[in-house]
């Protein structure tokens, strides 16, 4: 039975002990009068790696926590498991990553924005917290933070990620969208999902007060990891360009534009070739992004970044 006053918070986890830190932060949030929350955690590991940890935590927690085993090594399977669960109980599902922690008024901000703007989706900022050993250029570029949405030329938010995102499940009941398994090991499944939602008439709003933060692992501050990440983001963007217009003409046009942007970005890196500045790495990662767009438009297989322990 669907309870309009029950909000489901969905966490997808994979070999990550920090999920209990996320749960700790959720015990401190303000819950609006008349509302209740439940937490569903989808464990995406083959061996149900987090089951004992989560069930032990749940036994001692005031939170209503439900564990799901949703294998294996494909984040879309876990996201869909949370979605299917929430559809049976709630009007709203809020996805939160298993290494994030939230501010006290996080839930209130999400709900206030959804109701005030009559939005089908609300996204909040995610602030990256970097280890002291991280390179200074990484801290300067702050690529792990999502501080504001990307606004399309028509003035609307047309896609989102799922790191700190509310979904009005009434829209999903009318438009049975699911996260695509094809992108479940590469990432980008959330961008595709929310782009399909807006293409079917859904609306996305942004709540600056619905803030989450995350500790960035040192491994994710390495240049090679960031390069692959930007390349994969480009691949996803290329796929979304074809969602809008799958014609051969549009594909060739977008490949030409992305290739030209990659070339321009590469030339710009030469200005900083003998300098260790954030601008040098900014333009090098722009090259990766645009090359990824070319790859996505060309139908190449996405890079696999999900499924490792970091």
Nearest residue to 26 via CA among 164, 125, 168: 164
Q: Which of 143, 112, 268 is nearest to 216 (CA)?
A: 143
pLDDT band at 309 (very low <50, low <70, confident <90, very high): very low
Q: φ and ψ at 235, to 5 degrees?
A: -60, -45
Supply the DSSP symbol for 157: B
C-alpha dihedral over 154, 156, 162, 163, to 10 degrees? 110
Parse the chain into domains and list their residue ranges: 3-218, 223-297
Residue 273 has pLDDT above 90, yes or no: no
The number of angstroms, rounded, from the C-alpha of 89 to the middle of its chain's C-alpha atoms is 23
> What pLDDT, on the 0 to 100 scale, is given for residue 310?
41
CB 281 within 8 A of CB 223: yes
Residue 304 confidence (pLDDT) = 66
Give the tens place of pLDDT for each residue, 113-168.
999 999 999 999 999 999 999 999 999 999 999 999 989 989 999 999 999 999 99
Instruction: Give per-residue pLDDT as tens, 69-92.
Output: 999 889 999 999 999 999 999 999
Give tens-digit pLDDT for 199-236: 999 999 999 999 999 999 999 999 999 999 999 999 99
- Which CATH code fits 3-218? 3.90.550.10
Six-digit token string for 246: 């799958």
Q: Which of 72, 65, 3 is CA-nearest to residue 43? A: 72
The pLDDT of residue 22 is above 60: yes
The terminus-to-terminus CA distance of the chain in angstroms comes to: 38
Checking if the pLDDT of 302 tops 80, the result is: no
At residue 154, the 3 state secondary structure works out as coil
pLDDT digits (tens, 9 = 90+) for 158-181: 999 999 999 999 999 999 999 999
- One DSSP character per residue, 119-149 reads -SEEE--EEEE--TTS-HHHHHHTTT-B-SP
Among 104, 124, 94, smallest CA distance to 28 is for: 104
List Cβ neighbours of 128 (8 Å cut-off, separation of 6 or more).
142, 143, 144, 145, 213, 214, 216
Residues above pLDDT 90, as percent of the chain: 89
Instruction: Provide the pLDDT for residue 141.
Output: 96
pLDDT interval class at 307 (50, 70, 90) = low
């Amino acid at each position: 039975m669907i309870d309009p006053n029950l909000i489901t918070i969905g966490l997808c986890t994979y070999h990550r002990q920090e999920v209990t830190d996320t749960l700790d932060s959720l015990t401190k949030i303000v819950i609006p009068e008349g509302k209740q929350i439940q937490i569903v955690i989808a464990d995406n590991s083959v061996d149900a790696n987090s089951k004992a940890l989560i069930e032990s935590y749940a036994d001692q927690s005031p939170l209503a926590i439900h564990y799901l085993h949703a294998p294996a090594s494909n984040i879309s399977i876990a996201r869909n498991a949370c979605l299917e669960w929430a559809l049976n109980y709630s009007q709203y599902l809020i996805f939160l990553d298993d290494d994030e922690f939230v501010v006290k008024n996080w839930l209130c901000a999400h709900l206030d924005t959804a109701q005030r703007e009559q939005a089908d989706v609300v996204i909040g900022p995610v602030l990256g917290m970097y280890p002291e050993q991280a390179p200074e250029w990484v801290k300067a570029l702050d690529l792990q933070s999502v501080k504001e949405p990307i606004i399309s030329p028509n003035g609307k938010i047309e896609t989102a990620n799922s790191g700190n995102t509310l979904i009005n499940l009434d829209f999903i009941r009318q438009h049975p969208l699911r996260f695509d398994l094809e992108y479940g090991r590469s990432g980008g499944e959330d961008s595709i999902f929310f782009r399909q939602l807006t293409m079917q008439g859904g609306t996305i709003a942004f709540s600056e007060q619905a803030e989450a933060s995350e500790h960035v692992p040192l491994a994710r501050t390495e240049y090679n990891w960031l390069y692959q990440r930007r390349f994969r983001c480009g691949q996803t963007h290329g796929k979304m360009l074809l969602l809008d217009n799958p014609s051969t003409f549009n594909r060739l046009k977008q490949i030409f534009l992305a290739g030209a942007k990659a070339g321009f970005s590469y030339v710009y890196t030469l200005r900083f070739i003998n300098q260790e500045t954030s601008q040098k790495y900014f333009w090098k990662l722009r090259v990766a992004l645009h090359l990824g767009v070319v790859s996505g438009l060309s139908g190449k297989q996405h890079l696999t970044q999900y499924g490792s322990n970091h």
